[in-house]
Each structure stands twice: as structure tokens, then as C-alpha cells.
A = this chain, B = another copy of it.
């Protein structure tokens, strides 16, 4: 769960800040007469918001909160996510939340601080079958640490590629 000192007012402040930045981008393009670009940005924002709505509808409040608020705290990795599919979700929130909390913690300790470290999480959920793709681009400085942890995950994950600049992993958490 998010740090306990966090509260709702704090979270809304961060959300507001993000929205104000987006608005500024729209306004900036409008002021320069770039209406097509302003329209494009609005469409991108709508797509992002729809994604967040989908995640919020998966009935996994702890996991959703983790993903929605992660970038608002001081971290060395930045997270994006996409919900591809979600049919009749019946997922064990605690299990998914625990797995990702541990994974993010390992990641934070394996990457080079203050670099561009981007993790894209793709989410496909069908009833109690939860599948994820973890696509990382950045700089890994402690590959052994990461690799050891991944090996412990056994058949839960399939490691497609891994080098010092990223990885692609499939994860399946049948719950």
C-alpha cells in the first residue's frame, strides 16, 4: 500500500498537478496556433484517462492504487501501464499487489539512479487468469540481484530477453 503518511488530499494534489501540466501543453499549442497538435494532445490524454479508468474497474484496489500513484513518489523507475483486456475480473488483489510491490522494490535496487528507467506494464485479465507483460528500458547496474530474484519466480514468469539496458518478461498470476 502507499506510504501511510499519504492521504487523499495529497493524492488529489498530485493528480491536479499532472492535469495542470497537460492543460499547459494544450494551451501552449493553442497559443502558437497549432490546433492540430492541441487536438492530438487531448486525444492522447483521453486515451490515458480511459486506461486509468479500466484499471480502476478491475476490482483490485490495492494494485490499482500502487500503479496510479507510483510515479508521484520518489523512485528511480517510472511506470506506464496499459490495460488491454479485462473480462469478468476475479483476481486476488493481495497476490497481485504483493508480487508487484516486491518486483518494484527489486527493480529500484537494480537500476542506475537518476537515469531514464521506464517500465511498461501491459495487463490482460480474463476471470482469474491474470497475465502481464513487463517491458523495461533503462540502465540495469545490478543484474545479478535482479536475475536471482527472477529465478525464484520459477514458472510464474517467462524471460524473453534480458541485458543491461532492459528486459521483456511475461508474467502469469493465476489466482
Contacts and interface: CB of A to CB of B under 8 A. Distances in A.
B23 A68 contact: no
A56 B14 CA distance: 11
Please classify the interface of chain A as helix (H, G, I), strand (E, B), loop, or mixed, using the class held by over half of its residues.
helix
A69 B39 CA distance: 30
Contact of A12 (B7, B15, B45, B46): B15
A50 to B, nearest CB: 9
A61 interface: yes
Interface string A1-40: 0100001111111011001100100110011000100110
Contact of A30 (B15, B39, B68): B39
A107 interface: no
Contact of A26 (B2, B16, B26): B26
A175 to B, nearest CB: 19
A145 interface: no
Contact of A23 (B42, B53, B64): B42
Given A30-B35, A42-B26, A56 B13 contact: yes
B8 A65 contact: yes
A65 B7 contact: yes
Interface of A: 2, 7-13, 15-16, 19-20, 23, 26-27, 30-31, 35, 38-39, 42, 45-46, 49, 52-53, 56, 61, 64-65, 68-69
13 contacts: A8-B8, A8-B11, A9-B56, A9-B64, A9-B65, A11-B12, A15-B15, A16-B53, A19-B19, A23-B42, A26-B26, A27-B42, A35-B35
Given A11-B11, A26-B26, 5 more contacts: A12-B68, A23-B46, A27-B42, A30-B30, A30-B35
